[in-house]
Amino acid sequence: MTRKKESGEVMLAVAANAPGLVWRLGISYLRYKRQAKRAGKVFFRSLVTNGMPEKEARDLADEYMSALSLMSIMRQLPFRRPVLAKNIKG
């Protein structure tokens, strides 16, 4: 089998499985957001129960929930740019 034919089959397999993967990732993301929201509410209630004023507790709970945000997590990932061949000394 030629390399071109193999790469075409791989692309076909990826295209066939992509919608299912996107669907599963979307469902997982929604579950994650629901759990983060619940955790923020529990955190807020525990702060208020232990004597913290509601405004300060709300601010802390909002900070806590924003730390669980997917976008903030992705911003912290160390993405690296590909090294170009001309930048390699050797």
Q: What is the mean pLDDT of residues 52-72?
A: 86
DSSP state of 53: -
Residue 51's identity, in one-letter code, is G
Place 73 in a pLDDT band, splitting at 50, 70 and 90.
Answer: confident
Task: Count other Cβ atoms within 10 Å, centred on residue 84.
Answer: 7
Percent of the chain with pLDDT over 90: 28
pTM of the full structure = 0.58
Write the DSSP symbol of residue 68: T
pLDDT tens-digit series, residues 11-22: 888 788 888 888
